[in-house]
């Protein structure tokens, strides 16, 4: 069945791959990111493949922007019942060097952003008696040096997801989290730059530690998101799926 999906942070990386995958699954997709123009490539890829998509510019941490984005999506694509909260940022630093801004920015985009998006979308899900929420956590939720802010946010995403599952289950809405390990995107590229390592070396080093012997690709996460959003996953809710090429971070 065709639904309307929103994928946040879908201009690039994991979000772009997930938007394309949900479109190929037959859904109309709102490609949402900070800057509407940055969504053009993802939208074009979906349309070239015969799918339906619109570009939406919004800061997920801005309540008014989120509400008007969701209103516009409902009007142009149909009531959104699938939501993938993927938008994210990193501001890595060891605790003693971490600023309040580093802390607030990361908690705000991931947690406040996912909260605002879910709050705006749940009305459409409840009205439809059906919905899917997928939240992006991370293996960093288990703790990661230099990421006190990000680890707290990504652990928070897991508690948030479980609570959504409890509150919205009776309306036919499931909520699950995906916790990726190392995925090749601009985010991991930025980490390599920050620590002064070439990206190819950084990826090769990461792959050595991963049981399946390779780094993850955005499509690896898109596949898991597609499954959670499917009709047949309706009895799976409140779960955290580590997609990391092995059992540990």
For residues 28-62, b (16+ Cβ closer than 10 Å) or e, as one string?
Answer: bbbbbbbebeebeebbebbeeeebbbbbbbbbbbb
Instruction: Decide whether 26 or 211 has the Cβ nearer to ligand NAI.
Output: 211
From 21-29, 94-102, 179-187, 234-242, span contacting ligand NAI (CB under 6 A): 179-187
182 lies in the binding site for ligand NAI (CB under 6 A): yes
Q: Tell me how far apart the alpha carbons of residues 199 and 142 are, in angstroms, rounded to a whole number.
A: 24
From 9-17, 91-99, 125-133, 234-242, span contacting ligand NAI (CB under 6 A): 9-17
134 lies in the binding site for ligand NAI (CB under 6 A): no
Q: Tell me how far apart the alpha carbons of residues 19 and 26 are, in angstroms, rounded to a whole number.
A: 11
Q: Tell me how far apart the alpha carbons of residues 108 and 188 are, in angstroms, rounded to a whole number.
A: 20
For residues 150-168, b (16+ Cβ closer than 10 Å) or e, as one string?
Answer: bbbbbbbbbebbbebbeeb
Q: Which of residues 97-126 bind ligand NAI (CB under 6 A)?
A: 109, 113
Residue 33 CA neighbour count, 13 Å, CB half = 22
Q: Tell me how far apart the alpha carbons of residues 153 and 109 are, in angstroms, rounded to a whole number.
A: 9
Among 51, 156, 180, 245, the residue binding ligand NAI under the rule CB under 6 A is 180
Q: Which of 17, 12, 67, 51 is nearest to 35 (CA)?
A: 12
From 44-52, 116-124, 169-177, 178-186, span contacting ligand NAI (CB under 6 A): 178-186
12 lies in the binding site for ligand NAI (CB under 6 A): yes
Asked if 14 and 183 touch (Cβ cutoff 8 Å), the reply is yes
Q: Residues binding ligand NAI: what is the number (CB under 6 A)?
A: 27
Is 150 a known active-site residue? yes
60 lies in the binding site for ligand NAI (CB under 6 A): yes
Instruction: Decide whether 126 or 192 has the Cβ nearer to ligand NAI.
Output: 192
72 lies in the binding site for ligand NAI (CB under 6 A): no
Q: Tell me how far apart the alpha carbons of residues 180 and 191 are, in angstroms, rounded to a whole number.
A: 16
183 lies in the binding site for ligand NAI (CB under 6 A): yes
225 lies in the binding site for ligand NAI (CB under 6 A): no
Catalytically annotated residue among 115, 130, 150, 160:
150
80 lies in the binding site for ligand NAI (CB under 6 A): no
29 lies in the binding site for ligand NAI (CB under 6 A): no
Binding stretches for ligand NAI (CB under 6 A):
8-9, 11-15, 33-34, 59-61, 86-89, 109, 113, 136, 138, 180, 182-183, 185-188
Q: Tell me which residues are annotated as active site.
A: 150
């Amino acid at each position: 069945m065709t639904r309307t999906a929103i994928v946040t942070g879908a201009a690039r990386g994991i979000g772009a791959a997930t938007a394309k995958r949900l479109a190929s699954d037959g859904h109309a997709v709102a490609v949402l990111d900070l800057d509407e123009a940055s969504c053009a490539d993802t939208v074009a890829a979906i349309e070239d493949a015969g799918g339906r998509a619109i570009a939406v510019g919004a800061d997920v941490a801005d309540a008014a922007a989120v509400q008007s984005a969701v209103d516009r999506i409902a009007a142009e694509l149909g009531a959104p019942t699938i939501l993938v909260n993927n938008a994210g940022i990193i501001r890595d630093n060891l605790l003693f060097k971490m600023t309040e801004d580093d802390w607030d920015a990361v908690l705000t985009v991931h947690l406040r952003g996912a909260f605002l998006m879910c709050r705006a979308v749940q009305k459409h899900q409840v009205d439809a008696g059906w919905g899917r929420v997928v939240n992006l956590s991370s293996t960093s939720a288990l703790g990661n040096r230099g990421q006190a802010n990000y680890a707290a946010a990504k652990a928070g995403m897991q508690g948030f997801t479980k609570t959504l599952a409890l509150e919205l289950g009776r309306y036919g809405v499931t909520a699950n989290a995906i916790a990726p390990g190392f995925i090749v995107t601009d985010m991991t590229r930025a980490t390599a730059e920050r620590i002064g390592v070439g990206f190819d070396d950084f990826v090769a080093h990461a792959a050595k530690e991963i049981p399946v012997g390779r780094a993850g690709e955005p499509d690896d996460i898109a596949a898991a998101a597609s499954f959670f959003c499917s009709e047949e996953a309706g009895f799976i809710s409140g779960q955290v799926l580590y997609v990391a090429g092995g059992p540990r971070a």
